[in-house]
Copies of this chain bind each other. A is one copy, B any other.
Amino acid sequence: MRWDDIDKQVCSVARALSVVGERWTMLIIRDAFLGTRRFDQFQSNLGVTRHRLSERLTKLVEHGVLVKVPYQDRPVRYEYRLTRKGLGLYPVLMSLARWGDDWMDKDQGAPLEYVHQTCGNKTHPVLACSECVEPLKPEAVTPQ
């Protein structure tokens, strides 16, 4: 199978990765969550080539993860904003951050901490069951 065909797998992980599973894409989304909106900002944050960045942004717009919105008329210029579909990637991003914190911190601790405004505490995001609210462990979950 070619990578370009993985969205044809009857698998939600494969379908998700067909949109966000390439180099740079999740870093673009990370930056979007942190407030980056304009091409040049993405480019200077990431240091990726303009060609690659343009390709990735176009794909994210095509898939409805980002939306292009004009912010200037003459000449017309656009910025990129997360859609609801894009905002839905928050758990993916935070799970990656948590794993990076736990396993890739080079013994220097987490570079960012997260405060949950709802309860006021420093939070460590946990994947929980929608029904019983207990943390989900792979051995206790059966796919069917």
Which residues in A have some Cβ–Cβ distance to B below 8 Å? 1, 3, 6-7, 10-24, 26-27, 30, 33-34, 46-48, 85, 87-105, 110-119, 121-134, 136-138, 140-144
Contacts and interface: CB of A to CB of B under 8 A. Distances in A.
Nearest to A122: B131
Given A104-B19, A134-B119, A95 B12 contact: no
Contacts of A23: 3, 17, 21-23
A5 to B, nearest CB: 9
A97 to B, nearest CB: 4
A46 B14 CA distance: 10
Nearest to A14: B27
